[in-house]
Structure 1
């Protein structure tokens, strides 16, 4: 009998397990793959450090506190990474970083800028829930949607703003309107213009974070959990290596796997989790042999520009040591919810797209392909009506005391979101076990 079984060794499961072990609980983590980390994977190819999943982490004080507590030292992105571009009409246009730059920048037309400035006077919508596209068109206008928000949605979610919920996908923006009647007024009042936090990674890439967390935990790799049952107040896990009994279970797997694991606890809820859509994403790493990359983080490509590339990150600009001396590394994102079929293309067809679009967007002509990574279930999509999945998660946790759900399909898709929420979930587990008479150190 153990205190807690954690199913899934992605960043959510590992972070929760770290908190629980620190609290003095006996914790075992079960991972069906031979590698931990979920989609946080780093490949080392001919001197290049290639992030196959998330490139960076936007760390606020809570994330930095977690890393310090775990003894994991981050590295910080170069200051020039604040500079980002949008591809528009054949060239890269820098996104403005201040109100003055906004007024002087060519990234929106005069009409588009004037429409944005009207936002504080736009009334709230009578609708209970809107898509991001509906919300932005109403408050900021179509041009701002097409050339700022839609590319941003592609960069974060690989998603379609016509489908994603403003309430659940960008809750902070939604809450600004609800509380202040205006996104701009609320952002100024809270000094919340622009991203908050510092861009970080780790020596050797993001896999270092996963490796350091794993080293302090009992992780059973290649040990798939086949079934979770409950008998009286005890959970029974049927795993590849035998039965495990636990007083509490944290399921931190992707939604489809979670649905499968919950079938013996609630068949109806398990079927619902199977319906959560994950946008497919192609991540392509390219070594640039000649030429200097533009200064900055990278660029996003609006769908209006009729390209298949979603965006490009200038990876070797961000952190030192990501490419050999004198060489550059870029990471290209393709596919997403608006172009899902490209995930099935052969490598040769993907290279053909890259040859054409890298030349057209950033004039890169001489490059070597390092790696193509296919995430067929890449990023969960917080679509309109997504609140029902949060309600279902809450419902089954109430029906099955001692069961806790986590993962980027519930409380935010970013690595930082998963780290932040891990503390709250771990505290709930600890509180549950204390109520059950288990003294936590």
Structure 2
């Protein structure tokens, strides 16, 4: 028997891939401590002003493209029979082309090509050509005695502080809801960080050396990549209309929201006779059993014995299960984000069309928001014929407690007032919305802070020492917090790390092997 801890998208995906591979005689148990499955993938239906509409409480769109991560999600959606539910934003749509940064009281549209870097740059981006010139002309100043530095320090050293204050800080607000002064350059800007170390004349020139390393590493995975490419080609041949639609899209979701994906995973898993899903029972302990297997104890006292445990719990939850710990478990902070969903009873009321905007550090004094997503512009098909404009304002992140107090007890009234103030000041929308609601994702995004890769190595060693080699880990704290990263990590772990034909023996894998290989420094 194999047990999966955690019923978010990582746990559900892991269970799905296990169910595809294991014979029906092998029992699979999924244990979720809360009463609902899907983790931060949550879509709610609301009614206001005679209209029914959806709001997303967490992630809302998925990217297309040729990456393994993007293909893994699309293949999963196809296997779950969700093709007819997929809705897209075309590559030439405003949502795909227009992304903004709020800078000096105005929305600045980000450049979409190299040519726009040279002409007509908005104020927020004017620092970028100067930053590129600085990198090209500044002598190598890499701190070779250090294995990491913050994104802010890295960018300031090579491109100038303004590039971070005006641009990079906004991007990291949107992805990690965290401060670039804390985040790891090695973990999150690895190609550029490595280029700085390998090159002798700047980061951009050093990217050629990184390309050579990347080609050499691809040789390690050539067999895997070839098999996956052939399998994808077969899928395309069997469902050309679906894949042609995806080729024309920049991003996508589902007609009834992103929770469609996690809900379908749950319903399909319930069809497997060897899969049992347990909810509302937090794990309280994990230990080695007397017979050499592993076991977990649940809040109700139930003990589940397993040949292997795949642990997808957040780090702060996992830490409570063991008597020993490690630096990643102890030193990884999590960001909390308030998501405020606002609906207006009229279409197309934003002053610009696009995906939305982010707020950089340079504008933090003028804003409590991390950014705003123009939901109705991004995926208008979700609105149907309703006369409505949906927006989502994101608040908090590294400044949550400073602005709103404890995330666990933050006032809904204060959050919603801050969102309305943001919309009025940034977008000039003075009319009253027909609906506003908020939810706080407490500790929802792990922060990959300076020194993360070294701590990940520590985590790898620690996991191998637990439960006699019968536990491995997968999740947002390791391979990346985005939905596609969680899904590809789960698939790779099941397909390439675990020896499912020999579960009677300890697996002696951490689940972090491929991730760490990607960050190995070339000899």
Q: Residue 292 of structure 1 corresponds to which residue in structure 2?
A: 349
**1:415 Cα deviation after fit:** 0.8
Among 97, 115, 139, the residue aligned to 1:100? 115
Q: Cα offset for 1:223?
A: 2.5
1:163 corresponds to 2:182: yes
TM, length-normalised to structure 2: 0.76
Paired residues of 2:446 and 2:481 also in contact (CA < 8 A)? yes
What secondary structure sits across from 1:361 in the alignment? helix
- The correspondence for 1:375, drawn from 441, 450, 458, is 441
SS at match of 1:77: strand
Q: In the alignment, which of 93, 113, 128 is matched to residue 129 of structure 2?
A: 113
Q: Structure 1: which 5+ runs fail to align?
A: none
5 Å matches for 1:265-276? 267-269=323-325, 273-276=329-332
1-side partners of 2:307 and 2:112: how far apart?
A: 50
Distance 1:387 1:139 in 2: 22
Deviation at 1:316, TM superposition (A): 0.9
**Counterpart in the other structure of 1:22:** 20
CA contact (8 A) 2:147 2:451 kept: no
Rounded Cα–Cα distance in structure 1 between residues aligned with 2:429 and 2:31: 44
Q: Give the structure with the higher percent helix.
A: 2
Query: Residues 275 and 433 of structure 1: is their aligned pair in 2 closer, same or farther, counting only changes over 3 Å?
Result: farther
Q: Counterpart in 2 of 1:430? A: 498
Contact 2:338 2:415 in 1 (8 A): no
Q: 1:186 to 1:333 in 2, by over 3 A?
A: farther
Q: How many residues matched?
A: 427
Aligned ranges for residues 19-168 of structure 1 at < 5 Å? 19-24=17-22, 25-46=26-47, 47-59=52-64, 60-73=70-83, 74-78=86-90, 79-82=93-96, 83-104=98-119, 105-108=121-124, 110=126, 112-122=128-138, 123=140, 125-126=142-143, 127-168=146-187
- Structure 1 residues 249 and 433, CA gap change in structure 2 (3 angstroms): farther
Identify which of 442, 448, 452 aligns with 1:386: 452
Q: C-alpha offsets along residues 391-420 of structure 1, whole Å, 9 cap, x if unaligned?
A: 232113321312011110111111111011
The 1:35–1:107 alpha-carbon spacing in structure 2 relative to 1, beyond 3 Å, is same
Which residue is 1:328 aligned to?
389
Change (3 A) 1:152 1:177: same
Query: In 2, distance between residues paired with 1:229 and 1:109?
Result: 53
Structure 1 residues 353-388: Cα deviation after superposition (integer angstroms, max 9, x where no partner) = 233321111111122443111112121111112234
CA distance in 2, matches of 1:437, 1:131: 41
Taking structure 1 as the reference length, what is the TM-score of the superposition? 0.89
CA contact (8 A) 1:259 1:271 kept: no
Residue 281 of structure 2 corresponds to 223
Secondary structure of 2:174's match?
helix
Partner of residue 413, structure 2: 348
Q: Contact 2:475–2:489 (CA<8 Å) still a contact in 1?
A: no
Structure 2: distance between partners of 1:90 and 1:108: 11
CA gap 1:348/1:168 in 2 versus in 1, 3 angstroms: same
Shift of 1:172: 4.2
SS state of the match for residue 269, structure 1? Answer: coil
In structure 2, the CA distance between the partners of 1:99 and 1:394, relative to structure 1 (3 Å rule), is same
Aligned to 1:96, the other structure's residue is in SS state coil
From 370, 379, 399, the equivalent of 2:465 is 399
Which string of whole-angstrom CA distances, capped at 9 and with x for unpartnered residues, describes residues 187-222 of structure 1? 7996x9xxxx94221221111110111122232121
Off by >6 Å, runs of 4+ in structure 1: 186-190
Are the counterparts in 1 of residues 87 and 381 from structure 2 also a CA contact under 8 Å?
Answer: no
* In 2, Cα distance between equivalents of 1:210 and 1:326: 28
Using the TM superposition, name which of 176-185 and 347-356 deviates more.
176-185
* Aligned-pair CA distance for 1:347: 2.5
Q: Gaps (5+ residues) in structure 2?
A: 65-69, 215-248, 270-275, 507-523
Structure 2 Cα separation of the partners of residues 333 and 249 of structure 1: 35
Corresponding residue for residue 295 of structure 2: 236
**Partners of 2:156 and 2:176 in 1: CA distance:** 19
Q: Tell me whether 1:200 sits opposite 2:217 in the alignment.
A: no
Residues 41 and 258 in structure 2, CA contact (< 8 A), matched pair in contact too? yes
1:282-304 CA-partner distances (Å, limit 9, x unpaired): 10000123462221100111232
